[in-house]
Structure 1
Amino acid sequence: MAHAVVIGAGIGGLTAAVALTRKGWSVTVLEQAPSIEPVGLALALAPNALRALEHLGLGDEVRALPGLRGEVGIRRSDGRWLVRVPGEAAAARYGHPVALIMRPDLVDLLARRLPPGSLRTGVRAESADPATGTVTTTAGPFEADLVVAADGIRSRIRGALFPRHPGPAYAGVTSWRMVVPAPGPVQAAESWGHGRIFGVAPMGDGRVYCYATAAVPPGGRAPDERAELARLFGDWHDPIPALIAAAGPDSVLRHDLYCLDRPLPAYHRGRVALLGDAAHAMTPHLGQGACQAIEDAVVLAARVAAGGVTAGLAAYTAERLPRATRIARRSRSLGRLSGLRATPLVALRDTVTSWTSRLGPLALRQIDELFRWAPPA
């Protein structure tokens, strides 16, 4: 039986492990943390990711996820709508809605699909030999026919495979995220201001997932991040001030956003494949980071199962690199557009964006490339 070692027990790594297991591989997942902790907040899973999870036998769980309902779209900081579309339109057009799930729940869902003993925590991978498939770790060497490096944006394995690549670059914005009790009826929307964004997504269980970004220098921290959000967004339209006020004093997560601005020349070398953020870390403005990692995993398993490791990894790079690069660039461009600060440019942006709302169903065609993706047959 062919054996794979997966480095990293995040969403991409666990999805790859599940996908390979379903193709008849034995899999060992190495996670450097002492346990898979219930960390992280909510994720939006677009129809392309839901279709991939359904392909892995998680159809019942996918259909049970709450999707965005009612009108969704883009608003100005004063509340005026720039784009409005029915949340059900995605489900009608693509077969699935945009669904919300807590990240720990998705990690647990995937981990429970692995055979007993597949997951090794507290083991740090130091290197992976692309010629032999040997993974050197703090617990000794692991031999593999295939190594899947899903070790995140600061991937040690990527740095060794492509030492001349510049690595992650600061995207120019810091993000805040929180899940809070709904103060009342809340519509899903992303609001744009001058260099700032505030997003709101009801989770269907009385809670609301909120995210915000602002163009600030990297490395900053506030004594009270909830107070910092109130300073930045407290005069924006309802219900944003109430959502910020509903956050617990320590419930706001803050992270600088980094991405791989320069694409890699390949997503593999020898027997080692890169996956998810290790391969194509992107900004969150299209909500496709986790979705693309899930796509990677399904395609990788299909190609190595059909063509063997050498041919399969070449097919994986050929299929995934162009798509992920296009999506990463679109996300970066959308981030720059939504983060404009100069008043004349903001006015022009808002005017042009509002025109798209008059296109009705035609506006959805802009995301067809993202959402119409289907797993390999």
Structure 2
Amino acid sequence: MNRRGMAVVVGGGIGGLAAAIGLHRIGWKVTVLERLPVLDDAGAGISLQANGLRALDALGVGDSVRGAGAEQGSGGIRTPSGRWLARMDMARAGARLGSAVYSFHRARLHETLRGHLPVGQLVTGAQVTGVRDGEEGAVVEYEGDSGVQTVRADLVVGADGVHSRTRRAVCPDAPGPEFTGTTVWRAVTDWPVAGQADIDQTWGPGLEFGSTRLPGGFVEWHALTEEPLAVPAGNLMDEVRPRFGHWHDPIPALLDATAPGTVLRHDVFALDTPLPTFVSGRLVLLGDAAHAMTPHLGQGASQALEDAVVLAAALHSAANTASALAHYDTVRRPRAQAVAKAARRTGRVGHRVRTPLALALRNTLIRATPAGLALGQMVKHAAWTPPSLPTRTEQATRRTYT
């Protein structure tokens, strides 16, 4: 039996936490380094599709995660006046996929995932300053409460987001992320708001507004616009309300139910040039660090969860770490990059449509699309079967590798 390895996960977001859970499950000693004392986007919401939830099931945490979210049964696309362009039968899609879509307050989802890590595995306030792979192992340097720290590991998992430092160590010559021209405004209402589908999208000229029901009747909303790259300043609601405050109900009510200071603005960056590899030596990328994509398919988090499961399964079953990482790259890179390409393509028929003629043509085509075809497109990217991981009773005999 090969000795159990030591892994450092750079980044304590959804993908990083899932990777740590998977590695711990197969017997690795894990340290997660998160640069912030409080995880980012704490005031936003997030949805996970069937593939992401299946990944969590494979990690053994699916039931507890579902308990923190709200199952979505209805949805659709409208115009700003409220006219329906398409209705989505989320329950039917869930039946085909074996799992419904669930939505979460992001902070609650993070908290649930952290609860499945052993005490002491997550180090917050750890700003990673260097990642490299050497002859005697991978090395991570970070600044924390005790000054500069150096950690040696058998594996470093770069889950450090779109502006990943680990990516630069894995693919030093690859182009970095590019600004897509899209800005996302996000928030969660301060009180429950009724009168909407579980998942609601509205497409206007150059604008898009979406909302999702959360547990307790609270609502996550997000708005997409095309803006120049900018640093958020002032009252962000003053920028959102003029664009969307006159759209159909319940959009005005959602804005009224949101404290202005809780609105988040994020300019969307993506890896337009796909990486040639997700792996270099003992370094491996997952999530946005590997395949940052636009939000138009809602697949970013679910793809990161797929990454985490495939990585853990490969390390559990392969003869050594090198072959495990080669398998991970072979399996994950084509799928994740294909989903990223599809997300960008989908965005072209949403908020990027502006002219009256293009809007009329798009809306006509959406209304004319048969429900079965639309449902097929909905489930296309969520249809994924995870590899097997050891059960808890198998952990005493599991293998891990250096």
* TM-score, normalization by structure 1: 0.95
Q: Which amino acid aligns with 2:180?
A: A
Secondary structure, aligned partner of 2:228: coil
Rounded to whole Å, the distance in 2 between the matches of 1:66 and 1:229 is: 26
Moved more, 53-62 or 268-277: 53-62
User: Could you say which residue in structure 1 is the equivalent of 2:314?
Assistant: 303
Rounded to whole Å, the distance in 2 between the matches of 1:107 and 1:29 is: 13
Q: Residues 170 and 284 of structure 2 are in contact (CA less than 8 Å); yes or no, is this contact kept in structure 1?
A: no
Residue of 139, 142, 146 corresponding to 1:134: 139
Q: Which amino acid aligns with 2:138?
A: G
User: Could you say which residue in structure 2 is the equivalent of 1:24?
Assistant: 27
Q: How does 1:197-276 map to 2 (within 5 A)?
A: 197-219=208-230, 221=232, 223-276=234-287
Q: Residues 182 and 243 of structure 1 are in contact (CA less than 8 Å); yes or no, is this contact kept in structure 2?
A: no
* Residue 342 of structure 1: how far off its partner (Å): 1.7
> Would you say 1:288 and 2:299 are equivalent positions?
yes
User: Could you say which residue in structure 2 is the equivalent of 1:353?
Assistant: 366
> Would you say 1:66 and 2:67 are equivalent positions?
no
Secondary structure, aligned partner of 2:175: coil
User: Could you say which residue in structure 2 is the equivalent of 1:340?
Assistant: 353
Rounded to whole Å, the distance in 2 between the matches of 1:276 and 1:231 is: 34
Moved more, 170-179 or 133-142: 133-142
Q: Residues 222 and 228 of structure 1 are in contact (CA less than 8 Å); yes or no, is this contact kept in structure 2?
A: no
User: Could you say which residue in structure 2 is the equivalent of 1:148?
Assistant: 157
Quickly say closer, same or farther: Cα 1:9–1:82, change in 2 above 3 A.
Answer: same
Secondary structure, aligned partner of 2:133: coil
* Residue 243 of structure 1: how far off its partner (Å): 1.3
Secondary structure, aligned partner of 1:371: coil
Report the identity percentage.
44
In structure 1, the gaps of 5 or more residues are: none
Q: Which amino acid aligns with 2:48?
A: L
Q: CA RMSD in A?
A: 1.7
Moved more, 189-198 or 127-136: 127-136
* Residue 201 of structure 1: how far off its partner (Å): 1.2
* Residue 104 of structure 1: how far off its partner (Å): 1.3
Aligned residues: 374
> Would you say 1:12 and 2:15 are equivalent positions?
yes
Rounded to whole Å, the distance in 2 between the matches of 1:2 and 1:223 is: 48
> Would you say 1:375 and 2:379 are equivalent positions?
no
Rounded to whole Å, the distance in 2 between the matches of 1:72 and 1:234 is: 21
> Would you say 1:46 and 2:49 are equivalent positions?
yes
Q: Residues 54 and 62 of structure 1 are in contact (CA less than 8 Å); yes or no, is this contact kept in structure 2?
A: no
Rounded to whole Å, the distance in 1 between the matches of 2:139 and 2:114 is: 24
Q: Which amino acid aligns with 1:345?
A: A
Q: Deviations for 1:20-76, whole angstroms, at most 9, x for unmatched residues?
A: 11011111111222455782411101111111111111232244331112x311111
Q: Which amino acid aligns with 1:133?
A: A
Secondary structure, aligned partner of 1:133: strand
Quickly say closer, same or farther: Cα 1:355–1:256, change in 2 above 3 A.
Answer: same
Rounded to whole Å, the distance in 1 between the matches of 2:41 and 2:164 is: 22
> Would you say 1:123 and 2:126 are equivalent positions?
yes
* TM-score, normalization by structure 2: 0.89
User: Could you say which residue in structure 1 is the equivalent of 2:92?
Assistant: 89
Q: Residues 283 and 328 of structure 1 are in contact (CA less than 8 Å); yes or no, is this contact kept in structure 2?
A: yes
